[in-house]
Amino acid sequence: MRRLMPGRGDKPRALPSEETHRSRRAAWLRAAVLGSDDAIVSTASLMIGVAASSGSRGSVFVAGIAGLVAGSMSMAVGEYVSVSSQRDAESADIDVERRELTGQPEAELRELAAIYVKRGLDADLALRVAEQLSARDRLGAHMRDELGIDQAALARPMRAAWISAASYATFALVPLAAFLSVAAPFRIPAIAAASLVSLAALGALGGRLGGASAGRAALRVAVGGALAMTVTAAIGRVLGVSLG
Ligand SMILES: [Zn+2]
């Protein structure tokens, strides 16, 4: 049969199911952590750039808010588009499968049984398993075992968009809160320090979730963030001098 999303479903899982669950959760959380790094680095860099150009308290604050809003929107749109295309591919796969189940049910039953044979059942048992699962939920069995689509985990574009926008906005508050809590002379160091500490903590968390060294991950993301802030501070200073 034609398959729009290749590479899923009919291969035996290499990992035991507990490992699979753990890696799925890690993928979700790591995506959230990456979005939050982005929120902290972008917002802090914007604010530091404007502050270094000797921008007023008001303009640094506006830069932070603008960064928060723009970043959240951009994350939401990006996530909506990417998850929508995943959902379109899933729906197209499911439509094809539904048509095939109606048009050629015997061939589809044999196809399902063949998948279980590939996974290690002998032919008789595979056919019985295919028959019993089909009797209960034919489309569900084909979605799960042939297409690798989990009905409970179908792509949800709006939810993905909201989650990523909310996560971005929340973490963009870190440099904003640091800025609001200190007097003017300390605003750049306060934004930088709060952001770097949060980045290091998130880096350590991300590293741990990915099974890597927490220390090295923390260092990597903190150095990257420090670099971004230094570059925008330098550009802000140069522009502040030349334009101001
Ligand atoms: Zn099928």
Q: Tell me the CA–centroid distance for residue 194 and ligand 1, in Å.
A: 53
Ligand 1 centroid to residue 8 C-alpha, Å: 13
* CA torsion, ordered 73, 76, 78, 80, to nearest 10 deg: -140
pLDDT tens track for 27-55: 566 666 667 888 999 999 999 999 999 88
46, 64 in Cβ contact below 8 A?
yes
> 8 phi and psi, to 5 degrees?
-120, 160
Helical axes 17-52 vs 214-243, angle rounded to 10°: 20
Tell me how far the alpha carbon of residue 140 lies from the centroid of ligand 1, in angstroms.
10
The band of 23, judged by pLDDT with boundaries at 50, 70 and 90, is low
Q: What is the pLDDT of residue 1?
A: 42
